[in-house]
Amino acid sequence: MRTVCSHLGAGVDCSLIWSARRRGPELPAALQRRAGHGLAGDPPSSRDRRAAPRSAALGPGPVLVEGIKIGYKTINARGETLATTPAFRDVFKKRRCLVIADAFYEWQKLEGGKKQPYAISMKGTGLFAFAGPWEGWKDPTGQWLRTFTIVTTTPNELVAPIHDRMPAILPPEHYAQWLDEPNPQDLIAPFPAHAMMAWQVSARIGDPKNDDPAVLDAAT
């Protein structure tokens, strides 16, 4: 799955996360809001329960594995090993979030080494949420940053012909469980294909500079 920020849906700030420690009682309403683009913030606090989404950068910080800078090698986390992989097992237990999107993109391999990009979303125009862990860490200047990763799983019947992985999408009725339960591993599963749609888009989506609504248009 391509998960740099410009390759999530064009209509939603891909850095928007909603964490258990910061959510309010009206979680679905939060999905209609957009976070700001700033990444710096105050140190994470278990007492900070402000009912507001938070912005964050894609990819966990070095704090996830002491002494090892993981960087963008771990912008995705395999759901099957999330609870056991050293890079994610601690944050999976303590810091889980919802990553809000309106679409995502996958590339289908074609003969001759070519690839065809697809946009994939829910039927209709609603927002949806990926499962994710998040982390707070200090950069070399002493600023607190927040980072997140998108959990992936095996593809459903819609995505399987396009790619061998897909993001773990959570239905609204599972949001609270993902955020609050001690071990919500069983929530990581392919989202029902009948509720989703996919369409071919232009190869211009392959350039991160093309960050505009037109990248969601069907290829002609």
CATH of the domain at 83: 3.90.1680.10
- For 71, residues 6+ apart whose C-beta sits below 8 A from its C-beta are 59, 62
**Burial level of 157, CB count in 10 A (0-12/13-18/19+)?**
exposed
d(CA 145, CA 201): 33
The total number of structural domains in the chain stands at 1
Cα separation, 100 vs 131, whole angstroms: 9
Q: Are 151 and 44 in contact (CB under 8 A)?
A: no
Q: Are strands 128-138 and 169-170 parallel, antiparallel or unpaired?
A: antiparallel
- Is 60 exceeded by the pLDDT of residue 88? yes
Predicted TM-score (pTM) of the model is: 0.75
Q: Which of 139, 135, 105, 89 is nearest to 1 (CA)?
A: 105
First-last CA distance in the chain? 23
Using a 10 angstrom Cβ sphere, with 0-12 exposed, 13-18 middle and 19 or more buried, the burial of residue 145 is middle
Cβ atoms of 98 and 130 within 8 Å: the answer is yes
Using pLDDT thresholds of 50, 70 and 90, give the confidence band for residue 91.
confident
Q: How far is CA 34 from CA 21, 165, 176, in A?
A: 18, 27, 20
How many angstroms separate the CA atoms of 206 and 154, rounded?
23
- Listed range (51-60, 110-119, 170-179, 183-192) with the worst mean pLDDT: 51-60
Residue 86: per-residue pLDDT: 87
Residue 54 has a pLDDT of 52
Comparing 5-9, 85-89, 206-210, the range with the smallest average pLDDT is 5-9
56 with 15: CB under 8 angstroms? yes
Choose the weakest-confidence range: 46-50, 114-118, 130-134, 160-164. Answer: 46-50
Identify the CA nearest to 133 among candidates 120, 151, 116.
Answer: 151
Domain that holds residue 16: 5-216
Residues whose CB falls within 8 Å of the CB of residue 186, separated by 6 or more in sequence, listed in order: none
User: Model confidence at 125, in pLDDT bands (50, 70, 90)?
Assistant: low
Is a pLDDT exceeding 50 seen at residue 40? no
